[in-house]
Amino acid sequence: MKKLLNLIYLPLLAIVLGGCEDFLTVESPDQSTSGNYWKSQEDALSGLSAAYSQLYYGGGWRFHENKFVFEPFREDIMDMGPGASGYGYMSSIYNFTFNMNSSVPATIWDYNYWGLSYSNQVIDKVSAMDDALFDTDMKGQIIAEARFMRGYYHMVLLLNWEKIIVREKYITSEGDIDQPLSERDYAWDFIVDDFKYAAGNLPMTRGAADKGRATSAAANAYLGYAYLTRAYEEPERKTEFLEQVVEVLKPENFKGYRLVSMDKWLGMFNGTNDNSEESLLEVQFSPATSGNAYYKHQLHYWVASSELGGWEGILPSTMLYEEFKKEGKIATTGGYDSRLYNTLWFKDEYFNGNPEKVWGYNYDEWFNGKDKPVFRKFIPVDEEGMKPSETSMNMMLMRYANVLLMRAEAYNELDHPELAKPLINEVRARADMPSMSGSSQQAVRAQIEHERIVEFALESFRFYDLRRWGKAKEALAAVGRTSFDPSRHNFFYVPQDELNSNGQIK
């Protein structure tokens, strides 16, 4: 992170949270600084919007190049498509040739540090504001939301870098900028404390006017994810952390959330079922343009195959396709796992008019008889939706299905596969699949991996799962990607700009 002195001032809030029209269109004061700002509840909410804004990774064309390169390109269930292969900065992630000068990791580093800097500013400034300026409980809620966002940005960094700089306070002088890398356990403790605070001080659900804002349920979900990751990283405390996973992911912490029905599942990824009862946190996009706002992206072009008018930047791997089909046609529908038909388009009578087509035409007409599995997730519902150069469909970050499968994993690792199976079967039943067979810890462990692959394809959890389980090298080698070396590629390198500018990093 460069020595940007503008971090000590309130940024112009041209990019704000897109959860609802009111929150999107908060007017920004011209040339505001922290000296003449923070005078009202509206100021505090605008500052909070800036804290959320870095979820967009710059928005527009930057969003797909950042979010959908640095995470899925390291997974065995994805292939780099021809739309990306000609760009060296993308290929370096896929081929594991990245280094400390690589642009994509440096960009992710910057955006997340800007996000937590804005979060720290909200925590600092709102804490000092007069309580009388706020509606009942609003001051404490804004601070709790900012702490959730600070924990989230730190967690994204810690999942991708072995050591990070923990930013515990709002930067008010140049002397605060240079800080050393923190030990990993210290960083995790800091993240856990922020999520705990948010979980204890935020409402469990949000109304329609506050869609997209953090809740206690979201905080508990990420707290469970933090504990689950630590359980593998710190084996001497594994039981302690797994027990915490079970505790924070208990059903009473998620009242009002449930799995959506299978006919609504795809809608969580194509704009027809945004902010559903399964959603715990998703990046909010909108066609709103007030104040020169830009809440759209080009993800539909990035994901769509060339036959469908897309850039074909990313494709499902053969391994993913085979994983979906490996249980055979045992669904209650008489076909494969229903998530297959909702995640991919592929050569099958199902998409040749029995019972569906691809945008009104048989699959074979689009693909000239080839069997070329392509993504259906994050693709518009019809051909007309591909015509605009931008789309405003939301991007899911965390959902209730993950809560169920994380809790199942914790139970199983605590030697209680019998408690894990009902949770797994709940997720399978939604996909029209029968209950899993097998009862041993090993069988349940394998089933959890399968369910996480087919449930969360293109949602960027697979690499972190593989690393958590110590299986990244083996899994990537199995799909022919033999250049992965855990000692060099489990994490990104601290960016060269940070090393050059931060005198506290050796």
HSE value, Cβ hemisphere, 13 Å, CA-based, for 395: 22
Query: Is residue 10 located within the same domain as residue 107?
Result: yes
Is residue 282, in this structure, part of any structural domain at all?
Answer: no
Structure tokens at 398: 């965390």
Query: Is residue 379 located within the same domain as residue 479?
Result: no
Nearest to 270 by CA among 149, 153, 391: 391
Q: Amino acid letter at 69?
A: V
Is residue 363, in this structure, part of any structural domain at all?
Answer: yes
Which H or E run includes 315? Answer: strand 314-316
Query: Is residue 46 located within the same domain as residue 182?
Result: yes
Strand ranges for 74-116 from DSSP E: 78-80
**Coil vs helix vs strand at 39:** coil
pLDDT at 394: 95
Query: Is residue 77 located within the same domain as residue 149?
Result: yes
Query: Is residue 382 located within the same domain as residue 420?
Result: no
| Distance separating alpha carbons of residues 39 and 301, to the nearest angstrom | 43
pLDDT at 10: 38
Query: Is residue 20 located within the same domain as residue 169?
Result: yes
Render each residue's pLDDT in the chain as its tens digit; 506 residues.
333 223 333 333 333 333 333 333 344 444 556 667 999 999 999 999 999 999 999 887 788 889 999 999 999 999 999 999 999 999 999 999 999 999 999 999 999 999 999 999 999 999 999 999 999 999 999 999 999 999 999 999 999 999 999 999 999 888 889 999 999 999 999 999 999 999 999 999 999 889 999 999 999 999 999 999 999 999 999 999 999 999 999 999 999 999 999 999 999 999 999 999 999 999 999 887 776 677 899 999 999 999 999 999 999 999 999 999 999 999 999 999 999 999 999 999 999 999 999 999 999 999 999 999 999 999 999 999 999 989 999 999 999 999 999 999 999 999 999 999 999 999 999 999 999 999 999 999 999 999 999 999 999 999 999 999 999 999 999 999 999 999 999 999 999 999 999 999 97
Query: Is residue 14 located within the same domain as residue 129?
Result: yes
Is residue 13, in this structure, part of any structural domain at all?
Answer: yes
Query: Is residue 67 located within the same domain as residue 168?
Result: yes
If 0-12 CB within 10 Å is exposed, 13-18 middle and 19+ buried, where does residue 118 land?
Answer: buried
pLDDT at 62: 82
- Decide which of 180, 202, 224 is a domain's last residue: 202
- Decide which of 371, 391, 411 is a domain's last residue: 391
Which H or E run includes 316? Answer: strand 314-316
Domain span at 35: 5-202
**How many folded domains does the chain comprise?**
3
pLDDT at 31: 53
Query: Is residue 413 located within the same domain as residue 338?
Result: no
On the question of a cis peptide bond just before residue 316, with omega within 30 degrees of 0, the verdict is no
Query: Is residue 45 located within the same domain as residue 157?
Result: yes
pLDDT at 170: 95
Is residue 52, in this structure, part of any structural domain at all?
Answer: yes
Is residue 461, in this structure, part of any structural domain at all?
Answer: yes
Residue 182 sits in a domain whose CATH number is: 1.25.40.890
Is residue 235, in this structure, part of any structural domain at all?
Answer: no
Query: Is residue 64 located within the same domain as residue 187?
Result: yes
Is residue 492, in this structure, part of any structural domain at all?
Answer: no
| Distance separating alpha carbons of residues 39 and 461, to the nearest angstrom | 41
- Decide which of 359, 391, 423 is a domain's last residue: 391
Query: Is residue 79 located within the same domain as residue 155?
Result: yes
Is residue 188, in this structure, part of any structural domain at all?
Answer: yes
